[in-house]
């Protein structure tokens, strides 16, 4: 397994930006997949963005969020711009590949004025 630790969450006003980071405890193969998910109160966890050989995003965040990965630092990122109140949720990173599927502990993102 891989241990994942998220950071970068917080309280931001609507229209603001945040960058989430997810540090892995060991190096990740370039062929493995990376993703960000979120769960708002009373709702199911949903996919936000993922890299699985190609990159795809939830329709609700397209054009505002960018997922990236720095393999040299064993870290993935989620750059979030033009944040909206409906983006408020606990954000989780996920890393998976042959024989493993690891999740971070989650970081709270709150968008409010």
Q: Which residues face 34 on adjacent strands?
A: 51, 95
56, 62 contact by CB (below 8 A): no
Per-residue pLDDT for 28 more than 90? no
User: What would the pLDDT profile of 43-86 be if each residue is shown by its tens digit?
Assistant: 999 999 999 989 999 999 999 999 999 989 999 999 999 999 99
Residues 8 and 38: their CA atoms lie apart, in Å, by 14
Q: What is the pLDDT, as a whole number, of residue 20? A: 98
Task: Specify burial of residue 101 (Cβ count, 10 A radius: 0-12, 13-18, 19+).
Answer: exposed
Average pLDDT of span 16-28? 95
The encoded tokens of residue 51 equal: 């890299």
Q: What is the pLDDT, as a whole number, of residue 29? A: 86
- Taking every pair of Cα atoms in the chain, the longest distance, rounded to a whole number of angstroms, is 43
* Residue pointed to by tokens 């699985």: 52
Q: What is the pLDDT, as a whole number, of residue 42? A: 94
Q: What is the pLDDT, as a whole number, of residue 58? A: 98
DSSP at 12: E
């Amino acid at each position: 397994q891989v241990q994942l630790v998220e950071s970068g969450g917080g309280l931001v006003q609507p229209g603001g930006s945040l960058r989430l980071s997810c540090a892995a405890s060991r190096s990740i193969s370039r062929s493995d997949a990376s993703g960000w998910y979120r769960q708002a109160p009373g709702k199911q966890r949903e996919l936000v963005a993922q890299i699985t050989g190609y990159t795809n995003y939830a329709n609700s965040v397209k054009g505002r969020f960018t997922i990236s990965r720095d393999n040299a630092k064993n870290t993935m990122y989620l750059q979030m711009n033009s944040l909206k109140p409906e983006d408020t949720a606990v954000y989780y990173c996920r890393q998976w590949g042959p024989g493993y599927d690891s999740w971070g502990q989650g970081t709270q993102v709150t968008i409010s004025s």
